[in-house]
Structure formats: structure tokens, C-alpha cells
Amino acid sequence: MVSLDRKQLGFSRSRARTWVWAPFVAVAVIGMYLTGSIERFDSETLFALVGGIFAVAFFLRKSHTEDAQFLYQLFTQFNERYDSLNDDLGRIADLAKSDVVPPKDRAAVIDYFNLCSEEYFLYEEGFVTKRVWRAWSAGMKQWYAKSAVIQRIWGEESVDTDAYYGFDFLKLWTLAAYCDYSIPPSTGSVAPVM
């Protein structure tokens, strides 16, 4: 489970401070106006310019707040969905590859694939940071690596990765150099990197 913390939202944290420049720019414009550094214009135009500066600052701050709320909702929903699957995935991970998988367990694995693909889609579209994606994909790799049943079902399901927004468990090992596991191409089995 990944929890929302300010360090993971680096792009949002830096955008949160963009409004701070507004008073400085407004003071600079007024100062340049008063000292004659810029062409004199009527006071209405000056107030409109200063008001515009603050309007842009307000827009940027509001945009940051909306983005933070969106990310919080994403994290909350994904964590709730993952938590609801966690016990099932743990039980399924203990099954042997040749075991018959009950329909309920197969449905739980498919739900997990859908969750993974949605997280991947949001990463690819730029809605989550690389740091968050690393945490999410590390968890995906661990479940895939420890469960022969998940590997088997993914082999059956991955024929049509378009159904999963292009997500592919096997790509996780090539998408980032920070992975904990490697897949030998000859066997398709998963082995820890030493």
C-alpha cells in the first residue's frame, strides 16, 4: 500500500509555491511605474495589471489544490481496492501453478490486473509521478514474482494487452532500472537479482 506524502508529490509541492511570486511582481510593477522605468499609463490600467497578476496567482494556487485533491482521491481509491484484494492475493500466491483456480480467485486476479493497468495508465498519462510509479510497480513485481498462478493467468490474459491499456507485467522489468527481480528470457521464470 502506498500512502500519500508530500515528498512523493514533488511536482505539486513546487507548484504550491508559485503564488508567492505575485506580491513581488506586483510591487515591482508598481515600483517601475512610480520611478518612471516603464511608460506611464492611467491608474486604472495599473490596477488592472496588478489585479491580473493576483488572478493568475490565484488560478495557479487553485489548480494546485485541485490536483492535490485528485491525487488524494486516487491514492484513497487505489489503496482501498488493493486492501480488498490483498488477502485473496496472499492465498492465491500460495497455490501451485498447476492447481485449479476457483472462479472467485480468478476474478480477484483479474481485478488485480485491472487495478495495475489503471495505475499504469495514469502513470503513462502523467497523472502520477515517477516516484509513485516506482512504489506501485515494485509491489506489482513482487506479487507477479511470488505467484505462479498470477503468472499463469497473466499469460492467458496478456494476449490482449489493449484491454489493459498496454500494461504488461513483463514490461515492468524493462521500464525501470530499479527493479528487484529479473526475468530470464529463456525460461520466463522470475528470479531475484543478487
pLDDT at 9 over 50: no
pLDDT, mean of residues 131-141: 90
Neighbouring residues of 138: CB distance < 8 A, sequence distance ≥ 6 = 178, 179, 180
CA distance 108 to 83: 12
CA 62 vs CA 24, 90, 125, 133, 148: distances in Å: 19, 41, 21, 25, 47
CA dihedral defined by 38, 40, 42, 47, rounded to 10 degrees?
A: 20
- Binned at pLDDT 50, 70 and 90, residue 7 comes out as very low
Place of cell 511536482: 11
pLDDT, mean of residues 73-85: 92
Higher pLDDT, 155 or 32: 155
In this structure, what are the phi and psi dihedrals at residue 182, rounded to the nearest 5 degrees? -130, 155
Indicate the average pLDDT of the chain.
77
Indicate the pTM of the whole model. Answer: 0.67
CA distance 182 to 192: 6
pLDDT on residue 10:
44
- Given a contact cutoff of 8 angstroms between Cβ atoms, the answer to whether 141 and 180 are in contact is yes
Higher pLDDT, 39 or 6: 39
Q: What share of the chain is helix, strand, coil (3-state, %, to 5)?
A: 75, 0, 25
Report if residue 155 sits inside a domain. Answer: yes
Q: Report the number of distinct structural domains present in the chain.
A: 1
- Given a contact cutoff of 8 angstroms between Cβ atoms, the answer to whether 74 and 128 are in contact is yes
pLDDT at 12 over 80: no
Report if residue 44 sits inside a domain. Answer: yes
Report if residue 180 sits inside a domain. Answer: yes
Report if residue 134 sits inside a domain. Answer: yes
pLDDT on residue 179:
39
Instruction: Write out the residue range of the structural domain in which residue 140 sits.
Output: 6-192
Report if residue 29 sits inside a domain. Answer: yes
pLDDT at 133 over 70: yes
pLDDT at 1 over 60: no
Report if residue 1 sits inside a domain. Answer: no
- Binned at pLDDT 50, 70 and 90, residue 64 comes out as confident
Q: Which of 91, 193, 192 is nearest to 150 (CA)?
A: 91
pLDDT at 113 over 50: yes
- Binned at pLDDT 50, 70 and 90, residue 181 comes out as very low
Residue 67 is classified by DSSP as H
Report if residue 56 sits inside a domain. Answer: yes
